[in-house]
Each structure stands twice: as C-alpha cells, then as structure tokens.
C-alpha cells in the first residue's frame, strides 16, 4: 500500500542552525514526491522540524523500527510547527510532530486535526529543558518581579509566553504587565547582554551555556513546571479525515512511534549520532545535550489542562472539542 507522499558555547553556535526553526511559523517546503513503498509496507510521510527531539523519527527509520511495524516512513522537513498544520489537515502530510498548543489553537479555529500520540515532555522536576534567564546583577528573584519587564520568547502566543504569564499570575503578579518580544533562541543571550531585554526564555543548549556563567546570569525558574508539570512539548497529530477513514493506520503509527521513542531512551549514544547527522550538531555536543522526556504515551488530561490554561490566558477564545481532538 502507499499513501499520498508528498553544554558548551561551541555547541550553541552549532545548534543555532536548527533551533531557529522551532515555532518559526514560516511556510513549509513542498512535500516529497511519491516513491514506491517497500513490499508489504504502508508508505507515509511525517512532518518534522530539524530540532534534536524530532530526530527520533529519523532514528526510527535508520534502525528499521518503522519497517518492523509495516511502515515505510519518509520525512518532510517543515520550517515551523504552525506551518505544518495545513499540510497535515489537508492530507499532504500523514502525520506531524509539533507543539500541542499550536494544534489546540488550530482546532479551536476549525482546523480538523487530531492528537494521535505523545512525543516529548518537559521535565516535571529538577532542571527543566527550558528556563527564564536574567542578568545576575538585576536582582530579579520572583516571577512577579517580571512586571514591567521585557522578556524574549522565540515566538509569541506559544508555550513560552503562555507558561511565563501563568507563572507571573500564580506569583501574584500581573501577566499583562510583561512585555514579550520575539527573539530567536541563538540571539537571546546577546540581546540580554545588550540590555535590550530583561529576561530570556531559552532551551538547551543555550540554557546550559548560561548556567555555566553564574556570575553573569541567573536562572529565574522553569515556567513549564509552574504552569503544568510534565507539560507535553510535542505531540504527533493527523487529520480528522485520516483518523476516521483509516483508524488502523493511526493505531499502527501510535504503536510504532511509541516503540521508536522507547528505543531512543535506551540507546542514548545511537540517538546522539542521529541527532548529530539530522541537525548538523557536533556529535559530542549531541551526546551531552539535555533532552525532554520522550514517550509515545500520552495522558489526555495533560492536553485538557493545557487547553484550560490556553483559554485562561486568552490564547484561545473557545476550547475545541477535546473528545474529538484527542484520539483514544
């Protein structure tokens, strides 16, 4: 069968090539051309971003795990998670890997997309994979101290400003008094140094680079853990049409991606090599990279809590029908 195919500062520099793609919102490239699937395999196209966690899909291809589940997987590299959604909803791409908040916002606006499985999750305890960093000399010690301050996120109206707003409000501050400014992750610390912002929301490897200079930078906190511990940072999603017309394929995909993500957790060295090849990051940096928890399993309540949070903070006007959006 075939379906329509369509650590260190040095690591920071290497990573800048791929992290700028995250949530950029620019148009995706053209889907791949049709190629014959392997004998007895179902060919599908999966949309991914060129960021480290998304390399798990390529790992599954390279290791033959998808083939073991009867799937011939090709990847379609998108420039932003939001740009991937139309291609998935119209069937040009069979499955996407992206930000669940973008999926919820699209669904609330009438785009027929469904959450198929989990993928990556923020760390519920300890040092999370993203944080708000300030200048050590400024004495910003609590979330409410961000009132009247400028904070950079890589894109507004996404998980960065959502979780920071919630953190400020929970701390008794006024989230509307925080000014959010879009700055690409690789540029954030330089803009903080220049005094153009008072805080930056950054992920790895930029976070580790900042933490290595405690005399210069201070970690205010991890907003994901304040807003929604264990928050899903990426999920896999598909169109309502595919979910309704071929539920067996969706189930096969869920089983396959769950097996792939479990394998990456067991084979950190092999996964690091794939990350290096997939993102052009040096292998040593990829090996040291602190990653989200990867798992295909998804507690639907996390998506419901995220939807409630998005509605509370005004990111969606009306929460979508989650009984439909979240596939059983």
From first CA to last CA, the distance across the chain in angstroms is 25
Q: What is the pLDDT, as a whole number, of residue 9?
A: 37
Q: What is the pLDDT, as a whole number, of residue 35?
A: 46
Instruction: Report whether pLDDT(1) > 50.
Output: no
State the Cα torsion 27-29-30-35 to the nearest 10°. -150
Q: Nearest 5 degrees, angle CA 95-CA 231-CA 31?
A: 20
- CA of 50: how far to CAs of 37, 114, 242, in Å? 24, 22, 25
Average pLDDT over residues 191-198: 98
Q: What is the pLDDT, as a whole number, of residue 321?
A: 95
Task: Please give the backbone phi and psi of residue 105, each rounded to the nearest 5 degrees, phi first.
Answer: -65, -45
- CA of 221: how far to CAs of 167, 168, 189, 197, 225, in Å? 9, 11, 16, 17, 9
Q: What is the pLDDT of residues 242-296, one digit of tens each?
A: 999 999 999 999 999 999 999 999 999 999 999 999 988 899 989 988 899 999 9
Q: Using CA atoms, how far apart are residues 14 and 205, in angstroms rounded to an integer?
A: 10
Look at the chain and count its residues.
Answer: 328
Helix 268-279 to helix 55-62 angle, to the nearest 10 degrees? Answer: 110
Q: What is the pLDDT, as a whole number, of residue 66?
A: 98
User: Model pTM?
Assistant: 0.84
Q: Using CA atoms, how far apart are residues 203 and 185, in angstroms rounded to an integer?
A: 8
Instruction: Report whether pLDDT(13) > 60.
Output: no
State the Cα torsion 170-174-175-180 to the nearest 10°. -140
Instruction: Report whether pLDDT(25) > 50.
Output: no
- 240 confidence band (pLDDT: 50, 70, 90): very high
Indicate the domain borders of the chain. 9-122+230-325, 130-227
Contact 316/163 with Cβ under 8 angstroms? no
- 50 confidence band (pLDDT: 50, 70, 90): confident
- 187 confidence band (pLDDT: 50, 70, 90): very high
- 215 confidence band (pLDDT: 50, 70, 90): very high
Domain 9-122+230-325 matches domain 130-227 at the CATH topology level: yes
Q: What is the pLDDT, as a whole number, of residue 82?
A: 73
- CA of 160: how far to CAs of 57, 174, 230, 234, 256, in Å? 24, 16, 15, 13, 30
Q: What is the pLDDT, as a whole number, of residue 318?
A: 84
Instruction: Report whether pLDDT(69) > 80.
Output: yes
CB hemisphere CA count around 254 (13 angstroms): 19
Q: What is the pLDDT of residues 97-137, one digit of tens each?
A: 999 999 999 999 999 999 999 999 999 999 999 999 999 99
Domain 130-227: CATH superfamily is Periplasmic binding protein-like II (3.40.190.10)
Q: Using CA atoms, how far apart are residues 314 and 322, in angstroms rounded to an integer?
A: 17
Q: What is the pLDDT of residues 284-327, one digit of tens each?
A: 989 988 899 999 999 999 999 999 999 999 999 888 999 999 99
More confident: 229 or 82 = 229
Q: Which of 119, 1, 123 is nearest to 60 (CA)?
A: 119
Domain 9-122+230-325: CATH superfamily is Periplasmic binding protein-like II (3.40.190.10)
State the chain's mean pLDDT as an integer.
Answer: 88
Give the distance from CA 99 to its chain's centroid. 5
Average pLDDT over residues 1-5: 37
At 236, which helix (H) or strand (E)? strand 232-239
**For 298, which DSSP code?**
-
> Using CA of residue 195, residue 155, residue 164, residue 131, what is the dihedral sign?
negative
């Amino acid at each position: 069968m075939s379906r329509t195919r369509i650590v260190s500062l040095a690591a920071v520099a290497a990573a800048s090539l791929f992290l700028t793609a995250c949530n950029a919102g620019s148009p995706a490239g053209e889907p791949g051309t049709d190629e014959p699937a392997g004998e007895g395999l179902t060919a599908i196209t999966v949309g991914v971003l060129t960021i480290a966690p998304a390399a798990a899909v390529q790992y599954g291809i390279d290791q033959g795990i998808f083939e073991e589940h009867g799937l011939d997987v090709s990847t379609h590299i998108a420039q932003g998670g939001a740009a991937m959604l139309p291609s998935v909803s119209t069937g040009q791409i069979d499955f996407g890997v992206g930000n669940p908040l973008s999926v919820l916002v699209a669904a609330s606006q009438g785009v027929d997309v469904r959450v198929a499985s989990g993928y990556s999750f923020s760390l519920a305890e300890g040092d999370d994979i993203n944080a708000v960093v300030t200048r050590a000399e400024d004495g910003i010690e609590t979330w409410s101290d961000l009132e009247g301050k400028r904070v950079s996120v890589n894109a507004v109206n996404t998980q960065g400003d959502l979780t920071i707003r919630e953190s400020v409000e929970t701390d008794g501050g006024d989230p509307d008094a925080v000014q959010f400014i879009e700055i690409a992750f690789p540029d954030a610390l330089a803009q903080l140094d220049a005094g153009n912002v008072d805080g930056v929301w950054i992920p790895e490897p930029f976070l580790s680079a900042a933490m290595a200079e405690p005399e210069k930078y201070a970690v205010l906190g991890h907003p994901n853990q304040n807003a929604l511990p264990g928050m899903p940072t990426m999920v896999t999603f598909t169109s309502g049409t595919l979910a309704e017309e071929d539920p067996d394929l969706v189930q096969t995909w869920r089983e396959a991606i769950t097996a792939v993500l479990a394998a990456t957790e067991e084979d950190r060295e092999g996964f690091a090599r794939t990350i290096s090849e997939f993102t052009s990051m040096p292998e040593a940096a990829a090996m040291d990279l602190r990653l989200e928890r990867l798992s295909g399993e998804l507690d639907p309540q996390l998506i419901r809590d995220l939807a409630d949070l998005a509605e509370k903070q005004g990111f969606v006007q009306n929460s979508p029908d989650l009984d439909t959006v979240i596939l059983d």
